[in-house]
Structure 1
């Protein structure tokens, strides 16, 4: 069992529950194992809660599961399922009648019986004497699930506690599957989310960000301060009210803003330049005032993103023409609105991004308005290798299935990182997009006989993107 960056997982669990075991194949009769680390407040202080479920069945034999077994995934089954969703009474009676017969046969064959190892067991305790961790063990009434729970004071928790809890999970699996059932197997306990659903801008998380370890760590700190106002109040501390991210185009500033909102659990409100700047006299000033008037009324955590901030307030204080005067007026109102925003509505955090920080007046982004300023640089070679790794893993998780392999076994991340010198994360995404498109076209022309993406094809795509135009 390999634990990947346990300290980061424990830190993240202070903010949101963290799932740590995914896509693992377990020895029969164990079908799946779920492990979650979360945070809770107890009478004697905050704790980390370790919770795991070891299941010997996918799900109970419910009416929904019976319908799935009867309908299947063929066109007729999908059509019948759609009619059931629409409330067709005739279809529902027919399918449920067949399902009742299937359930009766299922029970007659004894396939609904709970696993004997887990049935009729009383609650008990498992312990790891090395770190002093104790886990309570309970058994589901159906006998198909074993649940383990342990708590450790937040100030005392360490990666050793997580490792010990994982050891207790493996001990439970061995009790169900036999003493040698795990021999030769390897499992990874990791925070990385490898979803079957392709990641989008809306669903991106800090876990998915590659090559920006220091930036991600600082954003996690901001998220923790936002999510724990009671701790801020106890120490008279004030979390950051504003965050400025600056750096070259394509380095992921907007993506990081969205990921921060998701880490906080906040709504995401992006303010674009056309929403503020108006050709009519006084219109821009009215727009910026209205944006902040709305912000003071938000009743749920909200991240406000001013993307391409320099285009809204660039060269503040410079120029005497009408356009410059309008920008100066907008910048002046922006300063006033930011002065007391956090006091009037602690649910709001403001993020501004720019490719040209020198175009933004220093008084706009001084401490007190924008307390944190983060440089988002172009990735270095190790960072590019990490970006390639995470993007490729995400594609594999989202698209590979039995009988279809997306990437060949010869992929060399270090060679890709070296060849892609000067590229940003956006460039690397484009490298993969081009290769995917080429493969899809080959697949369409050959009737599904395209080979997996090879190292040479990826390198060729890198060279093509870097070639001067």
Structure 2
């Protein structure tokens, strides 16, 4: 099996098809950092979400799963549906809200909030039936000797499974057994036959079958930045679980500053974080703020934050090339310097209480030149996390090559067509690409793909992309013989 094409195991359980990809590598990775699985799967009602994690704790591998179930959450959209209905007035208000009418929005959301409060007071948001009365228990797989303890929290809305296995004994069979026990717990909540026809992929990373775009990127697809990805995952967890934050009186990060050389993936990481959270992505570029007319820049930045305070859904706001927007121009008295200083001052004021005004918003700023940004602007409380995104080292470059190649294979290879040869050595490619960024590696692959496509277009056919062709493209891009 080629390193570019990982092995997988497929089995059926309760009518569902389950595919476990590269279990050995997954368990090895869990020794270093927790590995999350099944995060983007869909589940039968009333199960809303299943978070599965494999990690290492001392001498053990720890398998955990958190199954969230319950009534349909009372979201803003659901509140509006209840309030508006299908009568003529409701349809008219719906059109006004869609057109952005702030008065109609405030009226309907105000009534909806009152309806939601009544909904909770009557207990309609709590599950009923057997799921709400379950007692702790044990699920076991006798074949591999794995036992999972099951506990229920929050009036039965959350089930937790945990199993432990000595680290040196844990293998693919134990992973498969825990997945099966988790699906068994899902069935106990959702009922028999509810998994029939569903497909689940258990994988350290998700390789999409559709062409990867910047808009669709996830943290799983990011190669070579394990530390950065781990930190962003923690941010995503804190954003997705406001109830846990409230229970402990904790405040999740309000702002993140990412800095590093060009081409290291700062903008991509921002989009990946938004997708990890399930948030809308709003990118603010320099021309949207800076205006040549007196007072225009100040009005623009105020309007951007005024809009941010009204977002009704989770939203990540990205200020790309942050230094060009808010860097101080020094003590100069010219109009440009005054405008930059004014914008920076307004930005500071708006960031002081943004999370309290609208907890749906997360601000991310990226820059290649962090020394150009005033320190008071990015202090803790405004930007709580500051992440350095460096050029990848040898191991990271190998990982970037591996993930990019696997993504291309998933999208483009078909029966009878091989895009890449079996001789790929990602370690050697990582060594050869010394000094390159992720953007450079993407360009290497683009050039080789274009060469092969041109050969094919001329009718001569083309062999799969080989190790030597990739090494040649790396040398050409680096300008080395």
Alpha-carbon distance between aligned partners in 2 of 1:456 and 1:11, rounded to the nearest angstrom: 34
1:437 aligns with 2:437: no
Q: CA deviation at 1:321?
A: 1.4
- The Cα offsets for residues 325-345 of structure 1, whole Å up to 9 and x where unpaired, read as 100000000000000000110
Q: SS where residue 371 of structure 2 aligns?
A: helix
Aligned residues: 341
Q: Secondary structure of 2:328's match?
A: coil
The whole-number CA distance in structure 2 between the counterparts of 1:271 and 1:329 is: 18
**CA offset at residue 168 of structure 1?**
7.0
Q: Does 1:48 align with 2:61?
A: no
Cα separation, 2, equivalents of 1:207 and 1:359? 32
When residues 408 and 164 of structure 1 are mapped into structure 2, their CA distance, relative to the original with a 3 A threshold, is closer
Partner of 2:177: 167
Q: Distance in 2 between matches of 1:339 and 1:422?
A: 39
- Pairing 1:175-186 to 2, within 5 Å after superposition: none
- Write the distance in 1 (CA, Å) between the matches of 2:68 and 2:301: 46
Tell whether 2:468 aligns with 1:456.
Answer: yes
Pairwise CA distance, 1:418: 0.8
Question: Is the 8 Å Cα contact of residues 259 and 388 (structure 2) preserved in structure 1?
Answer: yes
What residue in structure 1 maps to residue 160 of structure 2? 152
2:35–2:204 CA contact under 8 A, matched in 1: no
TM-score, normalised with respect to structure 1: 0.67
Q: Verify: 1:428 aligned to 2:441, yes or no.
A: yes
Which residue of the partner structure matches residue 321 of structure 2?
A: 308
How far does the alpha carbon of each residue in 1:231-254 deviate from its partner, in whole angstroms, 9 at most, with x for none?
111111111000000000000000
| Structure 1 range deviating more: 365-374 or 407-416 | 407-416
Match of 1:279 among 284, 289, 292: 292
Counterparts of 1:118-267 in structure 2 under 5 Å? Answer: 127-128=141-142, 130-133=145-148, 152-153=160-161, 164=174, 166-167=176-177, 189-267=202-280
Between the aligned partners of 1:168 and 1:358, the Cα distance in structure 2 is: 49
Give the drift of 1:17. Answer: 2.4
Distance 1:371 1:161, change over 3 A: farther
- 2:26 is aligned with 1:5: yes
Following TM superposition, by how much is the alpha carbon of 1:19 offset from its aligned partner in structure 2, in angstroms? 5.4
Counterpart of 1:351 in 2: which secondary structure?
A: strand
Structure 1 Cα separation of the partners of residues 290 and 172 of structure 2: 52
Query: After TM superposition, what 4+ stretches of structure 1 lie above 6 angstroms from structure 2?
Result: 156-162, 168-171
- What CA RMSD, in Å, does the superposition of the two structures yield over aligned residues? 3.1
Q: 2: CA distance between counterparts of 1:407 and 1:161?
A: 30
Q: Does structure 2 retain, via aligned residues, the 8 Å contact 1:3–1:190?
A: no
Q: Distance in 1 between matches of 2:299 and 2:395?
A: 47
8 Å contact from structure 2 (residues 24, 171) kept in 1: no
Query: 1:164 Cα shift?
Result: 3.5
Residues in 2 aligned to 1:377 and 1:198: alpha-carbon distance in whole angstroms: 27
8 Å contact kept, 1:316–1:331: no
Q: Unmatched 5+ residue regions in structure 2?
A: 1-8, 10-22, 43-48, 53-63, 70-138, 151-157, 182-200
The answer on whether the counterparts of 1:133 and 1:161 sit within 8 Å (CA) in structure 2 is no
* Bigger-Rg structure (1/2): 1
1:17 to 22, 39, 55: 39
* 1:228 Cα deviation after fit: 0.8
Q: For residues 18 and 397 of structure 1, what CA distance do their matches in structure 2 show? A: 18
| Structure 1: gaps (5+ residues) | 21-35, 40-45, 52-124, 136-149, 172-187
Encode CA deviations 1:214-244: one digit per residue, 9 max, x unaligned. Answer: 0000000000011111111111111100000
Report the CA distance shift for 1:311/1:168 in structure 2 as closer, same or farther (over 3 A): closer
Contact 1:3 1:189 in 2 (8 A): no
* Residue 86 (structure 1) aligns with: none
Greater shift, 317-326 or 162-171, is seen at: 162-171
CA contact (8 A) 1:48 1:157 kept: no
Deviation at 1:207, TM superposition (A): 0.2
> Alignment partner of 2:293: what SS?
coil
Of 265-274 and 227-236, the range deviating more from structure 2: 227-236
* 1:349 paired residue among 362, 372, 382: 362
> Counterpart in 2 of 1:38?
51
CA contact (8 A) 2:264 2:391 kept: yes
User: Does the C-alpha gap of structure 1 residues 229 and 49 become closer, same or farther in structure 2, counting only changes over 3 Å?
Assistant: closer
Could you state the TM-score of these two structures normalised by the residue count of structure 2? 0.65
Q: Deviations over 1:9-67 (max 9, x none)?
A: 97645xx72559xxxxxxxxxxxxxxx9537xxxxxx962499xxxxxxxxxxxxxxxx
